[in-house]
């Protein structure tokens, strides 16, 4: 059975590039999102996110009639769900919030028909795919689902987590291997048929729980290794050692590959996913929890360094220190601010030093709500001409191309200036 149409539920950083990749292969794609402005923009062939090459590809697929967006669910042969899975109580706890997944499932349930495929792409705790199947079954008692009918079910359900690098989405959606976890082998096989329409990498079939855990494991592995680098940077600061030089030297060992430290960990995956494991196995996930705590504490350490620089400035000047924060995104060369430690640090600085903080972020056109009215968005040259303290938070290529600022106190959390070999 072929796929004549696909419905992409959620048109954000993952959903929109995924929809475009399928549409580029000539598949009819219906994009579904609750954001009317995003839907209108997409239907004009314009993106609402920054991703290299995406706008041109979107324009071509919309013009060809292969992709259109809507706020109203429509019938399709396959439904791919890529919606947020944040924490239930932001700032209070780390239990996963599946309300967006539930809302998406309930929205598409009325248009499901026998033979349809539903895939959860959202990074989720173990068991989320089965929970989604339960919500669908509750809404559609006239259809059968894998949890009760197994291989004979009317609806096939699977989990296939994305694993792309922002800034390289269009290439990696095609080239990367995909883990496809079906609620039954037939579900996995059907999902594999869909992904092979666009994916050139291997599509490896497994069960849905293993697929869910695979994505969490991949990001926890990264988080643990980043935590080692971040902890090392704190130790080196105490011992008066340049951590960047130390890592360069240690990495000359043939079996050592230490990552680079920073101001913390951000993004929709690495900063969130490990907590899903901890929430389900709190007694067993000791290293994973420790890594999360180390990385979550790094912004406080950076703030302490800034406080020290402000105090040193006050000892030699009767004017309040002006602070310039270079970068807000969670990683270089993108506009993605989700869970960004840089944004968190800049926001807290505006609260601690009102009227004294400026921001440089070449990848955004306007300040996010957390900073709106509290600071100014400036060019690098404008900020450097006025600041007493420069805080490098994101290693954008624009910043790497600059010479190290002179005449100011530098707090370089990425080793862009202070980590350069002499």
* Residues 6+ away with beta carbon under 8 Å from 393: 263, 302, 325, 326, 327, 328, 341, 342, 345, 346, 413, 414
Residue 9, beta-bridge partner list: 32, 81
- Helix/strand/coil for 126: coil
CA 232 – CA 208 distance, rounded (Å): 37
Residue 323's φ and ψ, nearest 5 degrees, are -115, 130
236 is catalytic: no
Residue 212 φ/ψ, nearest 5 degrees: -60, -45
**What's the rounded Cα separation, in Å, for the pair 264 and 336?**
15
Of the candidates 269, 298, 325, 331, the residue annotated as catalytic is 269
User: 269 an active-site residue?
Assistant: yes
Looking at 160, 187, 208, 215, which residue is catalytic? 215
Q: Which residues contact 331 (CB under 8 A, 6 or more apart)?
A: 166, 167, 266, 267, 394
H or E, element range at 24: helix 15-24
Alpha-helical (H) ranges within 196-266 are 208-238, 243-250
> How many residues can be counted in the chain?
422
Catalytic positions, please?
215, 269
């Amino acid at each position: 059975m072929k796929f004549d149409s696909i419905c992409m539920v959620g048109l954000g950083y993952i959903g929109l590039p995924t929809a475009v990749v399928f549409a580029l292969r000539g598949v009819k794609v219906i994009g579904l999102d609750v954001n009317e402005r995003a839907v209108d923009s997409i239907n004009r062939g314009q993106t609402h996110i920054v991703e290299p090459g995406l706008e041109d590809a979107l324009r071509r697929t919309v013009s060809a009639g292969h992709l259109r967006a809507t706020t109203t669910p429509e019938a399709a042969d396959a439904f791919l769900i890529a919606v947020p899975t944040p924490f239930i109580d932001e700032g209070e706890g780390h239990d996963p919030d599946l309300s967006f997944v539930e809302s998406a499932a309930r929205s598409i349930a009325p248009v499901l028909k026998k033979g349809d495929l539903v895939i959860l792409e959202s990074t989720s705790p173990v068991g989320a795919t089965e929970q989604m199947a339960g919500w669908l079954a509750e809404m559609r008692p006239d259809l059968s689902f894998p949890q009760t009918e197994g291989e004979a079910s009317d609806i096939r359900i699977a989990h296939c987590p994305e694993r792309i690098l922002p800034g390289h989405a269009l290439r990696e959606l095609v080239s990367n291997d995909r883990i496809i976890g079906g609620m039954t082998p037939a579900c996995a096989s059907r999902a594999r048929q869909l992904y092979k329409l666009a994916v050139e990498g291997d599509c490896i079939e497994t069960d849905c729980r293993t697929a869910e855990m695979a994505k969490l494991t991949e990001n926890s592995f990264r988080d643990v290794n980043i935590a080692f680098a971040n902890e090392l940077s704190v130790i080196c600061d105490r011992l008066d050692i340049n951590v960047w030089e130390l890592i360069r030297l240690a990495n000359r060992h043939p079996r050592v590959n230490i990552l680079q430290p920073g101001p913390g960990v951000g993004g929709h995956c690495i900063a969130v996913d490990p907590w899903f494991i901890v929430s389900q196995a709190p007694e067993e996930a000791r290293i994973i929890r420790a890594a999360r705590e180390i990385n979550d504490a790094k912004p406080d350490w950076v703030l302490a360094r800034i406080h020290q620089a402000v105090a040193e400035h006050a000892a030699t000047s009767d004017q309040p220190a002006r602070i310039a924060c270079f970068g807000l995104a969670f990683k270089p060369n993108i506009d993605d601010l989700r869970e960004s430690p840089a944004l968190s640090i800049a926001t807290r600085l505006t609260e601690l030093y009102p009227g004294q903080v400026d921001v440089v972020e070449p990848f955004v056109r306007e300040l996010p709500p957390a900073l709106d009215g509290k600071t100014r968005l400036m060019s690098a040259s404008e900020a450097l001409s006025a600041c007493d303290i420069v805080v490098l938070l994101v290693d954008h290529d624009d910043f790497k191309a600059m010479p190290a600022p002179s005449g100011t106190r530098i707090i370089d959390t990425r080793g862009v200036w202070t980590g350069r070999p002499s």
